[in-house]
Amino acid sequence: MKAVCGICPHHCSIEEGRTGLCRARANHNGKIICENYGKVTSIALDPIEKKPLSHFYPGRKVLSVGSYGCNLNCMFCQNSDISMADKNTYRIKEISAHELVHYAIEYKSQGNIGIAYTYNEPLVGYEFVFDCARLIKQQGLKNVVVTNGYICREPLSELIIYIDAMNIDLKAFTESFYKKVRGDLETVKSNIEYCVKRCHVEVTTLIIPGENDSEEEMKLLSSWLASINPEIPLHVTRFFPRWKMTDREATPVETIYRLADIAREKLRYVYEGNC
């Protein structure tokens, strides 16, 4: 018997014992479960600026945790070893929500402000993020989500009350680009607008040569962000050949600086990344 997942707009109809497109959500006995719950592939105490977040507790650190799986299919993924993995293809450490929160508390003495759910697409492991986020708030610490923003509104609205900051990937500003990665631009735009009203939000755009690197597209993207709030920080980030897009060179540094300057015509805070 198939079951339909309601976390993201794919609404995968999943057969018993199988996973959806994200490889992290499965049908068990007719019910969708978070198969990567508590399954950690990466954990590190990172500078908050690495998320990247430049205007949220700068100079502090955050305990960053990732699992496996993603609900988009970006051929250029910069972290494909875990985002494109499943439970059988990557080393995994199992940890409970209470254990992870305990680690976060232990690291307070080293400048830790809380937990960042990151590295892969964290919201395909929605239930684990939700459980950890609720516990972290009870401890007076902060929750950070680094996400592609491709999530349905109902689960997002239930989670956002526990979230203090987000970095949301705005991968491009054309529907044609989003179709290539099996997403849609309007969903991500809508979620950015929604989250900006409820927590601290910064936006990242990875600039890929020949894909989303035109000056016109950056003008449109930055103008749209400025229409929400010209003080939303934008990170214009350099692409390196990865995953299934090794057929082109890294983004020229001068391209990043040029597009960042264009974005500054509309936005107050623009940062060049990976340069």
Q: Are 48 and 61 in contact (CB under 8 A)?
A: yes
- Residue 194's CB is within 10 A of a number of other CB atoms, namely 15
Structure tokens that stand for 74 in this block: 């970006």
| Exposure on the CB side of residue 68, measured as CA atoms within 13 A | 22
207 pLDDT more than 90: yes
**pLDDT at residue 243, rounded to an integer:** 84
What topology is assigned to 3-273 in CATH? TIM Barrel (3.20.20)
Q: How far is CA 223 from the centre of its chain?
A: 22
Mean pLDDT in residue range 154-178: 98
Mean pLDDT in residue range 130-136: 98
**pLDDT at residue 137, rounded to an integer:** 98
pTM above 0.95, yes or no: yes
155 pLDDT more than 90: yes
User: Quick one: angle between helices 253-264 and 215-228, nearest 10?
Assistant: 40
Strand partners of residue 31: 28
Q: Taking the CA atoms of 192, 194, 197 and 198 in sequence, report the sign of the dihedral they define.
A: negative
Using the structure block, give the residue that is written with the tokens 């990732």: 66
**pLDDT at residue 80, rounded to an integer:** 78
Mean pLDDT in residue range 63-73: 96
Nearest 5°: CA angle at 150, between 146 and 151? 95
84 pLDDT more than 90: no
pLDDT tens digits along 101-119: 999 999 999 999 999 999 9
